[in-house]
Structure 1
Amino acid sequence: MKSRSRSLALRRVVLHLVLTPLAIIWLFPLWMMFVFSTMPDNGIFSPGIVLWPSTSFIDNVKNLQADTDFIRALTISIGVAVIYTILSIFLTSMAGWALARYRFMGRSVIVGIIIGTITLPFAVVVIPQFIMVAREFKLGNTWIALIVPPLFNSLGVLFMRQAFSMMPSELFDAARVEGVKEWQIFLRIALPLARPTMAALAIILFLYSWNNYLWPLLINSRPDMMTAPVALGTLVGLTKVSWGGIMAGAVLLTAPILVIFIFLQRHFIAGITAGAVK
């Protein structure tokens, strides 16, 4: 018994010795981003390496707000990301439920097409999508254009399909015998059981929308409709680059994601590993 406990303790020590340097390597760029956000532009490119924060963070934020109206852009990004995540989770859940629990002609073909779209680069469809949304539907510079076109998420459909496939069919059959309607089975039984997977998927979808740059840049030309990543991009000019403002904006964009992941990491890990054991 003692030898086993010593072996486990030794494994933990070795694991920490291996993972600690990797964690430092991963966290070091984030730390330097924060340090640069507290320095003026001339201090960022100083010859010496500075590892501790300075006192110019508030000034950089003020300059960022003056140049880009970053608070408005941040508000738009939050609204778009939240609405997109909620709608996309609901749509991908319905698609995953149908592919997992209903047998119909062409189901395997549809699953194959969905898997194939994961390997399809966004650059292939961005021009036709832009022409359809902006020219045909006249939806440029609108919230609908920001939220609706990216709603279909192949990875989300496969996530939810896998989660629903793992659930026992007897549970749903018993509900049908009791006279429970299909939409009630989906909303009141299936979705609560898939909560860990939905939490993990919510983080992935929120990150996707939060970091999305190319599509908001193309579909919106008005400054008052800019999302936060697009607003940061405007600080890179031909003759001037506001590096302090960019670093401060990057910190403001990164901090909410870190907070969300810290509070939801248990659900994220549970959702990711849900398909490992049946």
Structure 2
Amino acid sequence: MNTTALRKARPGAAPAPAPALPAAAPRRRAAQVAGRALMYVFLAVLAVAILLPFGWMAISSVKADRDVFTVPIEWIPRSYHWANFADIWTQIPLATYLENSLLLSVVITFLQVLTGSFAAYGFAKMRFPGRDALFVGYIATIAVPWQAYMIPQYIMMDKLGLVNTRWSLILIQAFGAFGVFLMRQFYLTIPDEISEAARLDGLSEYGIWARIMLPLSKPALASLALLTFVNTWNDYMGPFIYLTDNNLWTVQIGLRTFVGQYDAQYAMIMAGSVISVLPVLVIFLLGQRYFVRGIATTGLKG
């Protein structure tokens, strides 16, 4: 029996000394703390750089027009013109523009989520000849710039008599290859045994999609809905091309009212931009948990 064992056996004996840590352990721990601190500093600097333009826009919204583009930038205004946020509602029909933007964003988002999730289920869980080739060809359309088919698309809408109506934008943006790709990546992470068991129980493909796949894919659906809503809300070229009636303009087109031939009301543009950002900010704050989870899980399996 060794000395350590004897000490443990004797009553009142002094406890055995703890084994000494390797000399490299404190150094390794210090390196980990330093690396984490540097990462936090980098992320803080990156966050400030991203938020800096928004901060400048918010500050400029309460300035006078002559003070918006001063050099150097005045981060603290000489005088605060809070009336800009009240005057903008009387100078342009901002409520109408916001209503049009909200209507288009909600309808297009709903249709893209519906069509994208439905098509993605077929590409992920159903087997048919040419499935993979068809999927690759459909996803390849993402690489085609919109300017390449902008004119043919406009001619089609014009022949259908849909120019200067909301239907033109709704039909054009109701389907999206990115949404199909995003939802398919998430569906691939769901075991095939679940859908196979549902088929054995007599559930149709429509039932599997509606009663099993959709409830399981809430994070991916939230991610797609948020991305589509933001993209539609910020869209400028689509409404600019297809909507000529002032009563149909979106908020992005309506802000052009403050740009004249020789000058522009920059403070009003900034105030309108701040107001237009608020709905997107609220939606993101409400759905950020699902958004982050959806983005993280859609890339697990290709």
Q: Are the equivalent residues in 1 in contact too, given 2:111–2:175 (CA < 8 A)?
A: no
Q: Distance in 1 between matches of 2:290 and 2:203?
A: 29
- Separation in structure 2 between the aligned mates of residue 197 and residue 62 of structure 1, nearest angstrom: 39
The aligned counterpart of 1:55 is 80
In structure 2, how many angstroms separate the alpha carbons of the residues matched to 1:5 and 1:192? Answer: 44
The corresponding residue for 2:232 is 209
Stretches (4+) displaced over 3 A: 1-11, 45-48, 275-278
Query: Counterpart of 2:105?
Result: 81
| Aligned amino acid, residue 210 of structure 1 | W
Deviations 1:32-64 (A, max 9, x none): 10000011112213445321355213x323443
Instruction: Please state how far the C-alpha of 1:260 moved relative to its aligned partner.
Output: 2.1
Specify the SS of the correspondent of 2:258.
Answer: coil
Q: Give unpaired runs (5+ residues) of structure 1.
A: none
In 1: Cα distance, 2:300 partner to 2:88 partner: 48
Give the 5 Å matches for 1:237-256: 237-256=260-279
TM superposition shift of 1:8: 5.0
3-state SS, counterpart of residue 172 of structure 2: coil
Between the two structures, name the one with larger relative contact order (CA 8 Å, sep ≥ 6): 1
* Structure 1, 219-228 or 257-266: larger mean CA deviation: 257-266
Counterparts of 1:72-111 in structure 2 under 5 Å?
72-111=96-135
Q: CA deviation at 1:238?
A: 1.1
Deviation of 1:258 after TM superposition, in Å, equals: 2.2
**Could you say if the C-alpha distance between residues 47 and 14 of structure 1 is closer, same or farther in structure 2, counting changes exceeding 3 Å?**
closer
Whether 1:31 and 2:55 are equivalent positions in the alignment is yes
Distance 2:31 2:167 in 1: 57
Count of aligned positions: 276
Whole-angstrom distance in 1 between the partners of 2:239 and 2:35: 48
TM-score w.r.t. length of structure 1:
0.92
Aligned-residue sequence identity (percent) comes to 33
Where in structure 2 are the equivalents of 1:1-278 lying within 5 Å? 3=26, 8-47=32-71, 49-52=73-76, 54-57=79-82, 59-133=83-157, 135-277=158-300
Q: By how many angstroms is 1:235 displaced?
A: 2.1
What's the TM-score, normalizing by structure 2? 0.85
User: Cα distance, 1:5 vs. partner?
Assistant: 6.6
Q: Which runs of 5+ in 2 are unaligned?
A: 1-20
**Which deviates further from its counterpart, 12-21 or 72-81?**
12-21
CA RMSD, aligned part only? 2.0
CA contact (8 A) 1:38 1:248 kept: yes
